[in-house]
Chains A and B, each alone.
Chain A
Amino acid sequence: MSNSVAPVLEAKNLVKNYGRVVAIDGADLQLFPGEILAVVGDNGAGKSTMIKCLSGAETPDGGVMELDGKPITFRRQKDSRDAGIETVYQTLAVSPALDIAANLYLGREIRKKGPLGSIFRMLDNSGMKKSAKEHITSLGIGTIQNMSQAVETLSGGQRQAVSVARAAAFGQKVIIMDEPTAALGVRESGQVLKLIQSLREKGLAVILISHNMPQVFEVADRIHIQRLGKRVAVVTPKSHTMNEVVAVMTGALTLEEKDQTLGPIR
């Protein structure tokens, strides 16, 4: 353990209100390079809102966010993507009628080279299909063969895989996943967890929001516990048990700072 590693993504004292509802109330978050940080918390703890702020889907009312030590403000989704943060939403955010390749490159299509691309703005469909195939195969999703298949013809797990593949293909620094296994069966969940671990191998930092404690304990390096719009503790799967984490989540247990793992572990 060394404290010299700087966090890749840091949020300090974030505040977000929806009208009179306080969704997050001075929340902190630190994400270190090459780690999987699980974010857990009861319903209404402000997990999703915090993630939306980090991914640019919402603008926080107060607090600061820093990427590689530099302050960042995201006015829209695209800003966070340009900064190297990719998000896999619970709703997957795939366009059902479009095919896999089109979905992978949605919002960042590649144009053909030469005048066809620059003057006529033609898309390089065959090129995008080819590299989409490479991305899908590199993630070990063998069941998806045809990149011109419409996403609506895929199973839930395959759709999830497309969504994760999109994040993995373009994520430069951070990948945020909101309940990536919520809709999946056992085998498919296992595949997605493997995908998440392979992202860590590639050196990316991953934020995993999940309600599934066994899964969190299986893959996470550190566990960020959110309660009533604030971070109440950060622990590791080794330092604490599932029951303790649940107790902290519900407020039955409070942890001293010396018992937490606020620094990087890898």
Chain B
Amino acid sequence: MSKSNLVTDAAAEFKGRATNKQKVQALLHKYPWVSSAVVLVFALFIFSFGNENFLTPNNLSLILQQTAVIGAIAAGQTLIILTAGIDLSCGAIAIFASMVMAKTAFVNGWPGWAAFMLGIAVGTGAGAFNGWLITKVNLPPFIVTLGTFNVFSALTLFYATGRTIMDKELEPFFLYLGNPIPLGAFKITYGVLLVIVMYLILAFSLRYTGWGRHVYAVGDDIEAARLAGIQVKRVLMSVYITAGFIFAVTSWVIIGRVAAASPNSGTNLNLDSITAVVIGGTSLFGGRGAIFGSLIGAVIVGVFRNGLTLAGVDLYYQTFAVGVLIITAVSIDQWIRKAGV
């Protein structure tokens, strides 16, 4: 055994020689969301000097409400990006589902729950359609979802005939998620709570179930996953269907948040969700990242926009800041990935 001890001693010595920079790299390699959490805390600290109202319960609650929609979409987007895919149609699916819900309830007089179920079915079906094109027709996710983004957007406008359904025309059921939960000075809405519960369920599934492990394996190295006996196409299909379901649930959050269903809303959701995922430390190359990072990423974008607004900074600079955040996040990801080799 002396020989193997020698080897481990040598390895231990090698590890002991790691510089601080390497230690940070190794830490981020293991927990990619740490850097985004640091950025979040740092941003909260800085923006508190920009305006005294920033760190008030009222404002923080507002940030969470503003973040909930992107956070929810980003949850589904994370699943897809973990498999090394991308979904450019996520926002379009959510808006499509929200119009289906609102219009069948208001125009066709369906009961709220039935309209809701139909919207969920349509959103899930849209996700399944993406998944089918990717796994059965073997098209790249980028192309598929670029195409379906246009298709779903057009279907939405066509179906809604360009008309927004206002809050007075909507059943209380649809506005329910906009109601605040009394929690001291904080005003967390049921929508925010739903998003957090969604993240908890996804985090559990990704971390503790075989399905979650297969999602990572498929994104990490699809051929290795296939040869290891994982039914790769089935995993991919399940991811796109689950994501479609999440986008459909998000449409409920959207209606609750803006108290209306508009075919023209949510145009930024597609790209903003990718922003949140990337800032949250999930690798666009797949197989690496944590779902909670995306929630943190969504909150960071919300904090930046809100904090800069309160500090009286022009909207252009906010967009500029988000751009810098994205590039920084991806640079860090590239640097982290080197630690593995």
Contacts and interface: CB of A to CB of B under 8 A. Distances in A.
Interface of A: 57, 76-78, 81, 87, 89, 91-98, 102-103, 106-109, 111, 120-123, 125, 142-143, 145, 150, 152-153
Contacts of B209: 120-123
Given A77-B226, A123-B210, A95 B340 contact: no
Given A109-B213, A142-B1, 6 more contacts: A91-B223, A102-B213, A120-B209, A123-B213, A142-B3, A145-B8
Nearest to B12: A145
Contact of A77 (B7, B227, B340, B341): B227
- In this complex, the member of B204, B224, B229 whose beta carbon has the largest number of chain A beta carbons within 10 angstroms is B229
Contact of B228 (A107, A123, A153): A107
A253 B217 CA distance: 47
B16 to A, nearest CB: 15
Interface of B: 1, 3-4, 7-8, 11, 204, 208-211, 213-214, 216-217, 220-221, 223-231, 287-288, 340-341
A122 B203 CA distance: 12
Given A76-B231, A95-B287, A97-B287, A111 B224 contact: no
Contact of B221 (A78, A96, A111, A150): A96
B213 A98 contact: yes
Contacts of B208: 120-123, 125
Contacts of B1: 142
A77 B229 contact: yes
A163 B8 CA distance: 21
B94 to A, nearest CB: 28
Given A57-B227, A97-B287, A153-B340, A106 B4 contact: no
- In this complex, the member of A91, A95, A102, A150 whose beta carbon has the largest number of chain B beta carbons within 10 angstroms is A95
B96 to A, nearest CB: 31
A122 B212 CA distance: 10
Nearest to A112: B208
- In this complex, the member of B210, B225, B227 whose beta carbon has the largest number of chain A beta carbons within 10 angstroms is B227
A246 B113 CA distance: 75
Q: Is the interface of A mostly helix, strand, loop or mixed?
A: loop
A123 B228 CA distance: 18
Contacts of B210: 109, 111, 121, 123
Nearest to A57: B227
A78 B229 contact: yes
A76 to B, nearest CB: 7
Given A107-B230, A153-B340, A95 B4 contact: no
A97 B83 CA distance: 13
Contact of A98 (B8, B220, B229, B341): B220
- In this complex, the member of A57, A93, A107 whose beta carbon has the largest number of chain B beta carbons within 10 angstroms is A107
Contact of B211 (A81, A121, A145): A121
Nearest to B208: A122
A142 B31 CA distance: 28
A34 to B, nearest CB: 25
The 10 closest A-B pairs by CB, nearest first: A142-B4, A107-B229, A93-B227, A152-B340, A109-B210, A106-B228, A93-B224, A78-B229, A95-B217, A107-B228
A106 B211 contact: no
Contact of B220 (A97, A109, A111, A153): A97
A96 B223 CA distance: 12
A106 B341 contact: no
B340 A98 contact: no
Contacts of A87: 227
Contact of B224 (A81, A94, A145): A94
A108 B224 CA distance: 14
Contact of A96 (B4, B214, B231, B340): B340
Nearest to A102: B213
A106 B211 CA distance: 11
B213 A106 contact: yes
Contacts of B3: 142
Given A121-B209, A153-B340, A95 B8 contact: no
